[in-house]
Amino acid sequence: MVKKMSQIICKRVSVAGYLLSVFCFLFLCGCANPLHKDTFIIAGTYLEVISKDSRASQIVHEEFKRMEKIFNFYDKDSELSRLNNTYNAPVKVSSELIEVLKLSKQLNEMTDGAFDVSCGSLYNFWKEFIKKGNIKELPSKETINGILENCGMDKIKINTDLTVTIERKGLKVDLGAIAKGYMVDKAATALKNKGISSALINAGGDIYCLGTNNKNPWRVGIKNPSEIQGIIENEDLVDEAVTTSGNYEQFFDFEGRRYSHIIDPRTGFPVTSGVISVSVVSKNCTTADGLATAFFVDGIEGLNKFLSKYPSTMRIFMVTQEGKQKRVHIFR
């Protein structure tokens, strides 16, 4: 079971640096016992499983296949798609979808709307817009505001009988910023239920480190991708997760300005917070996944505001750019 957000509250310290960008990679050398490593393509990303138990990969893969049938926004037969094709009618859904929607509502409130899964129509609009390429002008505010009218977390009603009602016609739920982390957590739980106490699950950069790696912590580096050996910091993880949200790989340029593929659900336009990347280390991957996106949207000012309201044991690495100057801000 994913821990509630209120269970991660504690303290904060801030430091600044200057490295260029962030993503996670693993140090796996020096292992006393051989590790089994398998990679799959599923849920629109690669899935890597590392464990000394040869059963781990298959267990994780099967759990991901099961979860994909629930959360896949683009599969017309998924549980989420069936919900999205309804209006003003209660729909019976799985306990997993209920849980993710409840957590999404909580994150939405805690981040003052920076995290919002009700804007599926908006996110899909921008995905198709960016896909066309050769951008000569941005959509008008009138166009975006028209799409925003079909959003709103308050229009997703979770009923007491395990049904969900979409109360706004045209509203589409998109769980892309949280479902992958949740799937990682559920896969880790499936491993524990099978008696497996040591594994690393990596779903496209959403990482959970179960137990230890031959009695040592799993070591994950928060890396500067512009340098082969450039690392912001090494993190030793035991029963913890880390995930990254960034625009250094996905973006578009228009009139000499670079725009992120991540959309601010409050303005309806691409994020302009000056953030290049955010990595979050947390007790579960669901929390890390959702908050990495929210912090990317809100920027350093929004992150400071969040931590002043919700002091946390999370470790957060944010890379920002002002003009040509890039800085790393580390919160512990």
Of the two residues 15 and 239, the one the predictor is more confident about is 239
Tell me the mean pLDDT in the region 202-231.
83
Distance separating alpha carbons of residues 204 and 196, to the nearest angstrom: 22
Model confidence at 125: pLDDT above 50: yes
pLDDT for residue 276 = 87
β-pair partners for 157: 165
Mean pLDDT computed over every residue of the chain: 87
Tell me the mean pLDDT in the region 220-235.
70
pLDDT for residue 27 = 53
pLDDT for residue 62 = 98
Helices (H), the chain: 56-71, 79-84, 95-110, 120-132, 141-148, 179-193, 285-309
Q: Are 243 and 284 in contact (CB under 8 A)?
A: no
DSSP line for 27-69: E--S-SS--EEEEEEETTEEEEEEESSTTHHHHHHHHHHHHHH
Tell me the mean pLDDT in the region 71-79.
96
- Chain-centre distance for alpha carbon 269: 19
Q: Are 180 and 60 in contact (CB under 8 A)?
A: no
Tell me the mean pLDDT in the region 39-67.
96
Nearest in space to 265 (alpha carbons), one of 160, 132, 133, 176? 176
Residue 293: partners with Cβ closer than 8 Å, 6 or more residues away? 114, 115, 177, 178, 245, 262
Tell me the mean pLDDT in the region 289-315.
95
Of the two residues 204 and 232, the one the predictor is more confident about is 204
**Domains, in order of start, for the chain:** 5-331 (3.10.520.10)
Confidence of residue 248 (pLDDT cuts 50, 70, 90): low
Residue 257 backbone dihedrals phi, psi, to 5 degrees: -125, 140
pLDDT for residue 82 = 97
**What is the sign of the dihedral through the CA atoms of 65, 69, 72 and 77?**
positive
Confidence of residue 223 (pLDDT cuts 50, 70, 90): low
Convert the pLDDT of each residue in 171-211 to its tens digit. 999 999 999 999 999 999 999 999 999 999 999 999 999 99
pLDDT for residue 112 = 97
Tell me the mean pLDDT in the region 74-81.
96
Tell me the mean pLDDT in the region 31-46.
85
Nearest in space to 115 (alpha carbons), one of 106, 125, 124, 128? 106
Convert the pLDDT of each residue in 47-60 to its tens digit. 999 999 999 999 99
pLDDT for residue 131 = 84
pLDDT for residue 219 = 94
Task: Please count the residues of the chain.
Answer: 332
Of the two residues 259 and 145, the one the predictor is more confident about is 145
Question: For the chain, what percent of residues have pLDDT higher than 90?
Answer: 71
β-pair partners for 240: 209
Distance separating alpha carbons of residues 29 and 49, to the nearest angstrom: 16
The span from the first CA to the last CA of the chain, in angstroms, equals: 25
Distance separating alpha carbons of residues 164 and 84, to the nearest angstrom: 10
Residue 316 backbone dihedrals phi, psi, to 5 degrees: -130, 135
Confidence of residue 133 (pLDDT cuts 50, 70, 90): confident
Tell me, what DSSP letter sits at residue 153? G
Of the two residues 289 and 135, the one the predictor is more confident about is 289
Token readout for 225 is: 């991708």
pLDDT for residue 287 = 95
Model confidence at 311: pLDDT above 70: yes
**Taking the model in full, what pTM does it have?**
0.89
Q: What is the largest CA-CA distance in the chain?
A: 61
Confidence of residue 26 (pLDDT cuts 50, 70, 90): low
Confidence of residue 226 (pLDDT cuts 50, 70, 90): very low
pLDDT for residue 331 = 94
Token readout for 147 is: 């799409």
Nearest in space to 242 (alpha carbons), one of 199, 279, 204? 279
pLDDT for residue 249 = 56
